[in-house]
A and B are shown apart, each in its own frame.
Chain A
Amino acid sequence: MGGRVEFVQGNEACVEAALYAGLDFFAGYPITPSTEIAELMSVRLPQRSGKFIQMEDEIASICAIIGASLTGQKAMTATSGPGFSLMQEGLGYAIMAEIPCVIVNVQRGGPSTGLPTKVSQGDVNQARWGVHGDHAIIALTASNHQDVFAVTVDAFNFSETFRTPVILLFDEVIGHMREKLEVPAPGEVALVERLKTSVREGVDYHPYLPREDGRLPMSDFGGVHRYNVTGLFHDMWGFPSEKPEVVHGLLRHLVDKIENHVEDVTRYREYFVEDAETLLVSYGSAARSALHVAVNRRQRGERIGLLELQTLWPFPAALVREKSRHAGYVVVVEMNMGQVLQSVKAAAERPERVFLANRVDGVLIAPADIQNILRLIQGKGV
């Protein structure tokens, strides 16, 4: 890579990536452990004619980025659990109205105010189902700063490709830990720009009529096409409609445009998975400890591997099924009560062979914690 090398926090890596992806607008409200993202954006964005605003709360923040996105801007907000809860209605709006934007949730312990400064991965299922009503969602995560950078750029690209909000689900350890980051040179990583309509002025533009490939070319607010955007079920003009066929068609479109592209949005890493008898499945900061265990035990000759998920939603069920097919045990390593565990069990051929190694006390799960579970499963006692 021809870029510059930095020694940064994960939150900073996320900022670097968002700017690299072409971020124009950031609105946010301070909350630990995501605040550095807002602070850095307030410095960096105006240096390149971008806009930063600290809104009155997280509800306003997500609403503001949706408004900005409608004018053709790449827009983002960042928060943590309590703020993410407040953002759910706006998130649903962005899903329904198909507005590209990126929402970062640097997870801390919950529920409620929970553990403001401690790590957790407790919002995985909220990212999937925090919004009311049927819908599909893309949520990405990472375990190191190079990958934080990569998935953040992916998030912007996916949001433009699929005209949808994308969630970045980091955690306190990743957000605050410092490590090396190589920022790629401009042009080194492909960026997806907004697909704009080619319909000329004066010709009827249908903002919500998908092309054959399912994509919806947009027209910026302030441009030559005037149309309506609403959170109600709507027809191809964006005008409210309750016709059963319109409602059904839109809901199917919203789900299919993502669920039909699971492979395209699946990002993962694998370590020694090929012949693994014991397969660890992990993500985010927990995957660092899982990798440590896998490497150590491999060195001692054990057939153990790690599947590190970066795309959590839509859940890459086919991938998990494939990679776990030959494993005698699957152990999901995460810092919650088993949120990804549920999805892995649903995906695995033999769900009774899927176990959980977790910690839910605000402390990063350690290799020793995982070792203890492995010894129990393998009948060796603790």
Chain B
Amino acid sequence: MAVKEYIRERFFPHIWCPGCGHGVVLGGLVRAVEAIGLKKNDIVMVSGIGCSSRIVGYMDFHTLHAIHGRALAFAVGVKMSRPELTLLVPMGDGDALSIGGNHFIHACRRNIDMTAIVMNNKVYGMTGGQYSPLSGYGTMATTAPYTNIDQEFDVVNIATAAGATFVARTTSYHVQQLPEVLEEAIRHKGFSVVEVMSPCPTYYGRKNKEGSAVDMMERLKNTTTPIGSKAKRENPSLIERGVFVKKEMPEYCAEYQKIIERAMKGN
């Protein structure tokens, strides 16, 4: 199927700023879904609130634009009711790890089969550039005019610690790796987390003097490296990309099916 078959052309042009990384994530998701050969009727996409979360409106799946931070909780209800459906849950960094942090860790812990995509632009884009739990110490934001003293989360570490059975990181610059990682995540039976570093030139870029959208893309290239690379050993400040965790654990819906069998037998 052509890529545009997965998109609701009627609702374009999209709302994202020129140079925003979120559109690249949309492209990556479409390619991943196409590569797996999923049927559009079998996909439910659930998002929260934020620039990133507006992605669902443009995708021709069953789409649920939920409330800020709660996408995973809605997705759990959908998935438990219809385990055969494929659940894709794109969220912003604030959405997933600030207001939605509790749902995030518990979804990891339950290992319910769905793919969480954290579109990490290190800022609250939609509300105009306030710091997020991913911004990091020393950054600037509209609510950190004298620099940010909040320490940041590491999405990969937190997902791993919380028990996610597939954890990966990539960026909007790495357009080859992005659909590959997403495909692997979607195919994985269990809770998958993919962090996509995705620039917000309008707010994060401007506040932190990171230059144009092109400059920010270049930065993604220069500040990241494949997991375990030689470059990483030489320069520990580089951020690793790739699949960090991939392991088998009992999946929640499959386990619940066993509960139903036990309950029906009366023990």
- Give A contacts to B, CB under 8 Å: 24-25, 27, 43, 46-47, 49, 51, 53, 55-57, 59-61, 63-73, 75, 89-90, 93, 221-224, 226-232, 237, 239-240
Contact = CB atoms under 8 A, between A and B. Distances in A.
The binding surface of chain A is classed by DSSP as mixed
The binding surface of chain B is classed by DSSP as helix
B41 interface: yes
Contacts of A232: 65
B76 A53 contact: yes
**Which of B10, B74, B262, B264 counts the most A-chain CB atoms under 10 A from its CB?**
B74
Contacts of B80: 25, 51, 53, 64, 68
A65 B42 CA distance: 20
A229 B65 contact: yes
A127 to B, nearest CB: 20
Contacts of B40: 226
8 contacts: A49-B264, A53-B80, A70-B64, A75-B77, A90-B67, A223-B41, A226-B61, A227-B62
Contacts of B76: 27, 53, 55, 60, 63-64, 67
A221 B260 contact: no
Nearest to B62: A221
Interface string B57-73: 10011111111001001
B62 A93 contact: no
Contacts, number: 130
Contact of A64 (B10, B11, B77): B77
Contact of B259 (A46, A59, A72): A46
B81 interface: yes
B137 interface: no
Interface string B129-158: 000000000000000000000000000000
Contact of B70 (A25, A63, A228): A63
A186 to B, nearest CB: 19
A215 B67 CA distance: 25
A70 B78 contact: yes
Interface residues of B, number: 40
Nearest to A46: B263
Contact of A47 (B61, B79, B103, B264): B264
A229 B81 CA distance: 17
A221 B65 contact: no
B44 A221 contact: yes
Given A47-B264, A221-B44, A71 B103 contact: no
Interface string B99-117: 0001100100000000000
Contact of A43 (B60, B67, B79, B263): B263
B77 A222 contact: no
A51 B81 contact: yes
Contacts of A227: 62-63
A57 B100 CA distance: 12
Contacts of B247: none
Contact of B75 (A67, A226, A229): A67
A68 B77 contact: yes
A291 to B, nearest CB: 40
A70 B40 CA distance: 17
B30 interface: no
A347 to B, nearest CB: 34
